[in-house]
A and B are shown apart, each in its own frame.
Chain A
Amino acid sequence: MARTVPETITTDVAVVGGGIVGLGIAWEAQRAGDAVTVIDPSPATGATFAAAGMLAPVSELHYQEEGLLALTLASAARWPEFVAPLVAAGHADTGFRTTPTLVLGADAADRAALADLREVQLAHGLDVEQLSIREARAQEPLVGPHISCAFRIPQDHQVDPRGVATAIRVQLNVVAAERGRLREEQTSIRRNAVELLHEDPADTRSRVTGVLLEDGREVHAREVVVANGLAAPTLQGLPDGLVLPLRPVYGDILRLRVPEHLRPLTTATIRGLVRGLPVYLVPRNDNTVVLGATMREDGSAGVSAGGVHQLLRDAQVLVPAVAELELMETTARARPGTPDNAPLLGRVPGPHGRDIPGLIIATGFFRHGVLLTAIAAHITRQLLGGVTDLAWEQFRPDRFSPALQSTHTEPEETP
């Protein structure tokens, strides 16, 4: 039997991982003129499939995470222009809405906690308006009477991550075809990537030239973007000494249909603190609501009964009519958590203090994958163009890699 030589695919930018971050990066790179190839056996079925899609830098602000705020704000600001070309191309289901967010507290301690947080939000120049409970209920009549406080955050918006992912996947093929890449497989390869290919196969800190697929084929690319979430550390051929400390933080999330007589359940996204536990309700255009989300590190990938109970219980404190909804879907997925809750985004230092050419890491987006997609795509586009924005150096992917720190000097801007 004659040995068949495995086919080689040649592209400009190979993106390993087709979650919303990988897709967003590919989409932005394609818009910059590159030929892109997304490598994922089942795109948009991980955390992207679960995510509620809140673009909420203000209400997502956590104490001691102020460093992340600049990134989340910058990304939220980029979302309208990120999503506009998709909408212009006829994708109406991106779900991008500039609905405000209403933050509610259930008991006196929740009120105190939210009021304390508001002080910090205001100190950062963020807009958090205190409403009377009467005002909040006039705006959202189905909000229950037994709440202790209400705040309005005008700049926290939303998208539908499933819709955005689908729109990007379609658009990647449409644009590729327009540019003469007629085979869909050149744009989306439904296989696992197993290894990074290097210019010097014996040196994992030499230029990255492509990716080896599980079926033996090679994708040759000018640049490889590693955006496969929790699976990133399992990729062979990552630079020696690079530590990508990711851990699965599971979340349970529910999707419910609002019966006709209760529509709309709410017009704003409702986020609440109920006896110290966070919960949110995101209303969608199609008369469904997304109710989330737990944070579990119990190692269990399935939907947690206790988690579902907690979400339904707490949501009913804020909006009692939640009990009347049809429970359509329960989903659990893992978020890729990092030790400091911030992403691992950028290039990796190689020998002589120069970044390794051909390699960009984009993972560890944890709770903020959807929100940060727009800025991750933008930063990656800049990196692909040879520009390193020093403002985002604090998110470099090598910051947990002591072996790489001593050799790292500021990168030169190479056009």
Chain B
Amino acid sequence: MTETLTATDPFIVAGVPLGSRLIMGTGGAPSLDGLGAALVASGTELTTVAMRRYAPGSGGSGGTNLFELLVENNIRVLPNTAGCFTAREAVMTAELAREALETDWVKLEVIADEHTLLPDAVELVEATEQLVNRGFKVFAYTNDDPVVALRLEQLGAAAVMPLGAPIGTGLGILNPHNIELIVSRASVPVVLDAGIGTASDAALAMELGCDAVLLATAVTRAQDPVRMAEAFKHAVIGGRLASRAGRIPKRAHALASSAMEGRPDL
């Protein structure tokens, strides 16, 4: 039953159907082998890589690198512009990624400062406009601001990716109302990106109506990344099913699950 529903419910982004609604990041992974095992356990089909931190083809002859690892596991790479503070840097980084990886997908990150790693909304909007005009499919990492999210969509972003909480904090979804509002007004996919700490955070994101969840630290820095990755796989599926199943209203008073009236007298 659930298999059928998940199978007929692909995550379609930038025109491409994906079988998993979990997008993984790679930052903080303790080893290449450990990362590979975690990605496989997560079931992800799309994984983002910081172009400023990993050079394509730096594995050397006979070597193994992150990009080979993704190819081996049939995982599509989503290059990102982590570490960029200006629209200019982000655009140049995206162009380098397109050249090196032959993909026009880019997760756009334009960070305001190192302490919060929060997106700089002004530079983000500027970079989104430029990248869309250059033919990129822009996955825009943004604050949980419904106004900015809508603006990014209007500028042509392929997906908007509001944060649950700042990168790496594991604080979960700090403003569920805003996430719900962003979802309710969006006509492109909404991906909850950043702040996820544990499985229930991801399930909540899906229940709020997000189309997918992106996370890295929660898995890569967990004590057992493979087990945590598997937990997220199930959490995202569970949250998605719940969001489609029609939850019961919250009530102040109890309501017996089996009604007493008309009960056969046995």
Closest-CB distance, B220 to chain A (whole angstroms): 11
* Count, chain B residues at interface, CB 8 A: 25
B61: chain A residues at CB < 8 Å are 233-234
- Given A64-B31, A337-B32, A339-B32: A247 touches B223 (CB 8 Å cut-off): no
A222 interfacial contact with B, CB 8 Å: no
Which residues of A approach B to under 8 Å, CB–CB? 62-65, 116, 120, 230, 233-234, 243-248, 276, 296-300, 337-341, 400
Task: Say whether B30 contacts A341, CB under 8 Å.
Answer: yes
Contact B58 A248, beta carbon cutoff 8 Å: yes
Is B63 an interface residue, CB under 8 A from the partner? yes
Which residue from chain A places its CB closest to the CB of B115 in the assembled complex? A275
With A116-B223, A233-B63, A245-B64 known to touch, is A299 a contact of B58 (CB < 8 Å)? yes
Could you list which residues of chain B lie within 8 angstroms of chain A, going by C-beta atoms?
Answer: 30-34, 36, 52-55, 57-66, 168, 221, 223-225
- Report yes or no: A297 in contact with B30, Cβ–Cβ below 8 A: no
Minimum CB distance partner of B38 in chain A: A64
Contact assessment for B30 and A63 in the assembled complex, using a CB-CB cutoff below 8 Å: yes
Q: How far is the CB of B151 from chain A (nearest CB, A)?
A: 31
Residues of A within 8 A of B36 (CB): 339
**What residue in chain B is nearest A64 (Cβ atoms)?**
B34
Known contacts A247-B63, A248-B58, A340-B33; decide if A297 and B223 are in contact (CB<8 Å): no
A32 to B254, CA, bound (A): 81
Known: A62-B30, A247-B32, A247-B65. 15 other contacts (CB 8 A): A64-B34, A64-B225, A233-B63, A245-B63, A246-B60, A247-B58, A247-B59, A247-B60, A276-B221, A297-B66, A298-B53, A298-B55, A299-B57, A337-B32, A340-B31
> Which residues from chain B contact A243 at a C-beta distance below 8 Å?
62
Whole-angstrom CA separation of A400 from B53 in the bound complex: 25
A233's nearest neighbour on chain B, judged by CB, is: B62
- A298/B223 contact (C-beta < 8 A), A245-B64, A246-B60, A247-B59 known: no
In the complex, how many angstroms separate the beta carbon of B222 from the nearest chain A beta carbon? 8
> Do A339 and B64 touch across chains, with their CB atoms under 8 A apart?
yes
User: Which residues of chain B are within 8 angstroms of A296 by Cβ–Cβ distance?
Assistant: 53
How far is B62's CA from A248's CA once the two chains are assembled, in angstroms? Answer: 12
A296 to B225, CA, bound (A): 21
A131 CB to closest chain B CB, in angstroms? 24
What is the bound-complex CA distance between A116 and B58, given in angstroms? Answer: 34
Query: Shortest distance in angstroms between A319's beta carbon and chain B's nearest beta carbon?
Result: 20
Q: Using A63-B30, A276-B168, A339-B32 as known contacts, say yes or no to A244 and B62 having CB atoms under 8 A apart.
A: yes
